[in-house]
Amino acid sequence: MNLHVLPVRTAGAAENMAIDFLLLQRYPDAGAPRFRHYEWRGPAFTFGFSQKIAFVREKLAADLPVDLCRRPTGGGIVDHRNDWTYALVIPRGHALEEARATQSYRSVHEALTDTLVAFGQPAELKAACEPPAEGEECAPVGPGVCFQRAELFDVVNRTTGAKIAGAAQKRNKHGLLFQGSIEKGSVAALDWDEFGVRFAAALARSLGGESTETPWPELHEDELSGLIERYSSPEWIEYR
């Protein structure tokens, strides 16, 4: 099954989140996985669907005002001012969409790790949590500020342990939306355009196909505009 690789677009936070969601909901070829890398119109942060807006504002007090939007996926606060952002949509019925969240997370990040290693970067998967202190259990931490702490199957620098890449997911009746971020400052300088091509190819191989450059789909403009308005609204941003 080939992976549809869409053209790069630059947009504000609400529009980027709206497009990702519509690619899950309305993409015309429901049988094909789809992938896009996108840019940001200005300084932006996104935060997980379940996070409290008071917590977000407290953590970002020194950085506000910025373009801020709640994601449709989970996870923590992500700073997009110096990252390489992407979205992957897997249609319903695909083996990866039906896999457990940890398995889909691992599969995508294995492809990402392999690509970074091919560029000479000291990247690896974080395969387990740190050993717990005596009398404590090794347990995941709730979403906070992304890149402050690496969790299971994040991509990390194998030398320093610093987090390189993280992601968040959303599943519904249409499939799986995977939103990922790579912190550019955590790796040595590389050709990001070439990286995008190779990463898409690695993802396609993991999905059992090839990457195919695909024209932008004809999404319903009224629906897109309405969703952008929703994601820009205080009701959405301050939902929790």
Structure tokens at 39: 């840019």
pLDDT in tens, 25-48: 987 666 789 999 999 999 999 999
The pTM (predicted TM-score) of the whole model is: 0.89
More confident residue, 93 or 232: 232
**Residues of the chain with pLDDT > 70: what percent?**
89
Q: Is the pLDDT of residue 124 over 90?
A: yes
- For the chain, the average pLDDT equals 89
| Burial status of residue 12 (CB atoms within 10 A of its CB: 0-12, 13-18, 19 or more) | middle
Q: Are 125 and 144 in contact (CB under 8 A)?
A: no
Structure tokens at 5: 């690789």
Which are the contacts of 82, defined by CB distance < 8 A and separation ≥ 6? 183, 184, 185
pLDDT in tens, 178-207: 999 999 999 988 999 999 999 999 999 999
Q: Of 127, 117, 107, give the one whose Cα is nearest residue 205.
A: 107
DSSP-assigned letters across all residues of 145-205: BTTSS--TT-EEETTT--EEEEEEEEEETTEEEEEEEEEGGGS----HHHHHHHHHHHHHH
Q: Are 26 and 174 in contact (CB under 8 A)?
A: no
| Burial status of residue 114 (CB atoms within 10 A of its CB: 0-12, 13-18, 19 or more) | middle
Domain 3-97+168-237 CATH (choose: 3.30.930.10, 3.40.50.300, 3.30.470.10, 3.40.720.10):
3.30.930.10
Strands 211-213 and 78-79: unpaired
Q: Work out the pLDDT band at 118, boundaries 50, 70, 90.
A: very high
**Domain chopping of the chain, boundaries:** 3-97+168-237
User: What pLDDT sits at residue 9?
Assistant: 96
Strands 67-70 and 44-47: parallel
